[in-house]
Amino acid sequence: MTVQQTIWQGLKHILGVEDGKGVARALLEPVAIIAITFASTTAIAQPFYVPSGSMQPTLAIGDAFIAAKYPYGYSRYSVPFGLGPSSHDRLLQKMPQRGDVVVFRLPVDPKQTFIKRLVGLPGDRIQMIEGRLWINGKELPLRADGTGKVESEDGTITDSPRYIETLPNGRSHPIYKWTWTGPLDDTQIFVVPPGHFFMMGDNRDNSRDSRVPPEQEGVGFVPAENLVGRAEFVVGSYDFLNAHAIWSWVGELRVSRFFNGVN
| CB-based contact 69:42 (threshold 8 Å) | yes
Q: What is the CA radius of gyration of the chain?
A: 21
Choose among 118, 140, 117, 122: nearest CA to 130. 140
Q: What are the pLDDT digits (tens) for 177-229?
A: 999 999 999 999 999 999 999 999 999 999 999 999 999 999 999 999 999 99
* Most confident listed range (16-20, 23-27, 137-141): 137-141
Confidence class for position 11, pLDDT limits 50, 70, 90:
very low
Per-residue pLDDT, averaged over 135-150, amounts to: 97
Q: Which residues contact 241 (CB under 8 A, 6 or more apart)?
A: 61, 62, 151, 153, 154, 155
160 is catalytic: no
Among the listed residues 52, 54, 75, 207, the single catalytic one is: 54
CA dihedral of 109, 110, 115, 116, whole degrees rounded to 10? 60
CB atoms within 10 A of CB 62: 22
Per-residue pLDDT, averaged over 140-157, amounts to: 93
Among the listed residues 116, 160, 177, 237, the single catalytic one is: 116
Domain range summary for the chain, segments of one domain joined by +: 3-43, 45-257
- pTM (predicted TM-score): 0.81
111 is catalytic: no
CATH number of 45-257: 2.10.109.10
Confidence class for position 92, pLDDT limits 50, 70, 90:
confident
Q: What DSSP character marks residue 209?
A: S
